[in-house]
Amino acid sequence: MSRTKREEAQILSYKLLYDRSGKLVTERITTDVSSLESFLSKEEYNTLNTVVREATLKLDEVHSYLESYLGARIMTQKS
């Protein structure tokens, strides 16, 4: 299998997962962008750092909101 050079990289990911047992899970993955510094201009690197930081803060707010919303609900178990 040949490897192809990718033109993009996944920097930030947020998933909301629901499994068959009824468990709801959130997952946030953040890449350390410092390893990309040598490939970017100073402006691009600073912009990327800022965007990742701000997006992470917002996704943490979403996570907290979902946790509190689900904590306020009574979940019933199916037989």
- Per residue in 40-49, pLDDT (tens digit) is 999 999 999 9
Q: Which pLDDT score is estimated for 21?
A: 83
Does the pLDDT at position 70 exceed 80? no
- Please give the DSSP secondary-structure letter assigned to residue 20: T
Residues in the chain, how many?
79
Q: Which pLDDT score is estimated for 34?
A: 92
Report the alpha-carbon distance of residue 12 to residue 60 in Å, rounded.
Answer: 12
Name the region of 14 (left: φ>0; alpha: ψ -120 to 50; beta: rest).
beta
Pick the more confident residue, 58 or 7. 58
